[in-house]
Every structure is written in structure tokens, then in C-alpha cells.
């Protein structure tokens, strides 16, 4: 990677690996994103996101990449979602999730985007609350819908389609 980072999100699309956001070795949340081509063994930078964030989720859906939720020091847990269009080569802010989520798990299934779990915003110096809620994003209506909760609260996990 051209930018050292940790607590970033990553996903695969058409054989390429996308790395988004995270924290720099100076401890600053990042807006940067990169793509790795394992055949060419080369990293390429993408345009920066509008919001710096770490502990976010990312998934590819149709011809776009979605950066979901996350955390930054200025705003705490985020409900903000940005979409990167491969055709337009830019990030745009889309409908926000109903709940802020840091450490959110994200996946695309059957044309929809799922965001599960995460940690909520910290209030009055209390411990962060882990969420059991799940939201689904429909790109055709640009809207999030809450669906049935998970049995147990979770954060910083992973999702897979079997």
C-alpha cells in the first residue's frame, strides 16, 4: 500500500482488492482508498472520500463501492454512507443509515447492501454499546430499512454469503 494504515475496510471486486479508510501510523483517520491488482502486483490510489473514517464497512454492489459507517475522532460513530462510482470515478454521499455504526459488518446480496451490528455513539463518557440491529440499503430507492435484529450484539465481525 502507498499509505500505511490499520482499522481499514476491504473488499474484492472483479479480482481486485479495495482498501478504504483506516488510521494512519500517526493516529489520524483517513479519507484515502487504494486498489490492489494481484496479477500486476500494483497498488493504485482512488480519489479520497469526503469523510475521514476508520472501523468502517465496505462492499461492492453493481458498478459501485460503498463505504458504510465507521468512526472518526471529531464525529464519533458515523451513520454516513458514501458511494464510489467506477464510471464517474468519484465518491458521493448517499442516504445515511438510521443508526451510527463503528465496527459495522457490510455485505452485498441480491442487489441490496446489508449493514449489521457495530458500536453506537458514545454518550457522556459511557462505554460504547454494541448493536444487534441490521439495516438493508436499496440502491434503487436510496433508502435504508431496519430488519430483524441479530440474536446477539456484535461488532468488528464479518459477513459471508454461502
Q: Which domains does the chain have, with CATH numbers?
A: 9-147 (2.120.10.80)
| Polymer length in residues for the chain | 162
**pLDDT (tens digit, 9 = 90+) per residue, 100-158?**
999 999 999 999 999 999 998 766 555 668 999 999 999 999 999 999 999 999 999 99
Distance CA 102, CA 78 (A): 7
By C-alpha distance, which of 53, 14, 4, 21 is closest to 37?
A: 14
Residue 100 C-alpha from the chain's centroid: 12
Closest CA to 32 of 81, 91, 75: 91
pTM of the model: 0.93
Amino acid at each position: 500500500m502507498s499509505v500505511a494504515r490499520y482499522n481499514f475496510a476491504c473488499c474484492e471486486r472483479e479480482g481486485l482488492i479495495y482498501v478504504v479508510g483506516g488510521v494512519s501510523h500517526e493516529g489520524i483517520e483517513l479519507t484515502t482508498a487504494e486498489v490492489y491488482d494481484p496479477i500486476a502486483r500494483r497498488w493504485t490510489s482512488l480519489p479520497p472520500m469526503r469523510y475521514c473514517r476508520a472501523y468502517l464497512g465496505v462492499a461492492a454492489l453493481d458498478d459501485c463501492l460503498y463505504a458504510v459507517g465507521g468512526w472518526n475522532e471529531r464525529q464519533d460513530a458515523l451513520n454516513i454512507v458514501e458511494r464510489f462510482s467506477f464510471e464517474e470515478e468519484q465518491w458521493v454521499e448517499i442516504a445515511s443509515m438510521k443508526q451510527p455504526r463503528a465496527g459495522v459488518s457490510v455485505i452485498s446480496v441480491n442487489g441490496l447492501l446489508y449493514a449489521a451490528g457495530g458500536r453506537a455513539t458514545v454518550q457522556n463518557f459511557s462505554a460504547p454499546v454494541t448493536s444487534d440491529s441490521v439495516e438493508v440499503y436499496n440502491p434503487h430507492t436510496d433508502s435504508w430499512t431496519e430488519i430483524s435484529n441479530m440474536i446477539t450484539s456484535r461488532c468488528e465481525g464479518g459477513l459471508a454469503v454461502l
